[in-house]
Amino acid sequence: MPSQPVPLRIIAFPGAPNLPTFAALAKGFFEAENLAVELTLTPSSVAQAERTAAGEFDVVFTAFDNVVAYGEGQGAAPVDPEYAAIMGATQLELSVVAQPEIKSFAELRGRTVALDALSTGFAFVLYEMLARAGVDPADIRFVAVGATPQRWQSVKGGEHAATLTIEPFTSIAQKAGFNVLGRSTDIFEAYQGGSIAVRRSWADANRQTVLAFVRAYRKGLDWVLDPANRQEATSILRERMPEIQSGALDAVMNSLLSPRSGLTPDGVLLPDGIRQVLALRSRYGKGGGTLGDPGKYLDPSYLKAATDD
């Protein structure tokens, strides 16, 4: 008799970067590793950290800066989700989307801007973009709204002047007539945006399950990155994210498959991208001081072991 599938609880932010996971589910890669995956989408980084700390999730798709922030006791919630980054997910191009009448960063002065949380790395990306445009963040009121879908709806509905978006929401906003004031890829050569993390205590006790996850996810990633599968991958994304209009699908896929703005081949963590995250948190984080050693936030042993299998 085959053994019972091992349950695996994953929490991720909504967005096109989930495509390798969608593909691994659709193509049976998790099933082939005897994993029964339950995928939950989080409304915010705070909810994600709180629920992970409560033991509700095992594998976490989150911004690498969230791993750093909670590792440094600077997280937006007073919890310890025990994050350890085991793989890279995306460089994650962040775009500043603004109301149609707003054409520049300077026009955000005196307006409200929606963020996930006020002390996350994505907020720091925006602060850096503003600083380089000569705008003092103190001249703008930032509001914690949650994940990208909620932020985009708050701008679309006129509640806030601008927000940060990822795909597919950037392309959706552009198709709707909203302006992109700038992109993270305009100012950073590398930025470790998305990462795949685990709860350290759970992973220590479930090493074989983590390795099975890594193998299945990498199969999904490799499949998505194979040009021969683009049409089917696009169909999977559209099925999972019906809010993407047909006219925006190509732009979303182009960004997702770009080495500058999208998925990280082989699931590796990018040293230059990690250094950029640490530099921004050193500059804008509430803890003060320079963050140096990235090793305290990582556990590359799982990716190495799964690759060597």
Which single residue is written with the structure tokens 């955000």?
108
Half-sphere exposure of 72 (CA within 13 A, CB side): 26
161, two tokens: 């002047």
Question: What does the alpha-carbon distance between residue 27 and residue 108 come to, in Å, rounded to a whole number?
Answer: 45
CATH superfamily of 95-187: Periplasmic binding protein-like II (3.40.190.10)
Q: What's the burial of 221, exposed, middle or buried (CB within 10 Å: 0-12/13-18/19+)? A: buried
66-70, 126-130, 140-144, 146-150: which has the minimum mean pLDDT?
A: 146-150
Confidence of residue 160 (pLDDT cuts 50, 70, 90): very high
Q: What are the pLDDT digits (tens) for 66-119?
A: 999 999 999 989 999 999 999 999 988 899 999 999 999 999 999 999 998 888
221 Cβ neighbours under 8 A, 6+ residues apart:
20, 263, 265, 266, 267
Q: What are the pLDDT digits (tens) for 188-216?
A: 999 999 999 999 999 999 999 999 999 99
Confidence of residue 1 (pLDDT cuts 50, 70, 90): very low
Question: What does the alpha-carbon distance between residue 39 and residue 57 come to, in Å, rounded to a whole number?
Answer: 9
What's the DSSP call for residue 142?
Answer: E
Q: Where in the chain is the domain with CATH 3.40.190.10?
A: 6-91+192-308, 95-187
**Parallel/antiparallel/unpaired status of strands 112-115 and 35-41:** unpaired
The whole-number pLDDT of residue 291 equals: 85
Peptide bond before 168: cis, by omega within 30 degrees of 0?
Answer: yes
pLDDT exceeds 90 at position 285: no
E strands present in 31-170: 35-41, 59-63, 83-90, 95-98, 112-115, 141-144, 162-165
* Cα distances (Å, whole numbers) of residue 285 to 76, 129, 146, 182, 245: 11, 16, 19, 22, 37
Per cent of the chain over pLDDT 90 is 85
pLDDT exceeds 60 at position 16: yes
Tell me the average pLDDT across 237-249: 92
Contacts 24+ apart (CB under 8 A), 231-240: 233/19, 233/23, 236/19, 236/22, 236/23, 236/26, 237/16, 237/19, 237/22, 237/168, 240/18, 240/19, 240/22
Contact assessment for residue 227 and residue 97, using Cβ atoms and an 8 Å cutoff: no
CATH superfamily of 6-91+192-308: Periplasmic binding protein-like II (3.40.190.10)
The whole-number pLDDT of residue 60 equals: 98
The whole-number pLDDT of residue 143 equals: 95
Distance of CA 189 to the CA centre of its chain: 17
97, two tokens: 């989307």
Q: Is the pTM of this model over 0.75?
A: yes
**Parallel/antiparallel/unpaired status of strands 6-12 and 59-63:** parallel
Distance of CA 302 to the CA centre of its chain: 20
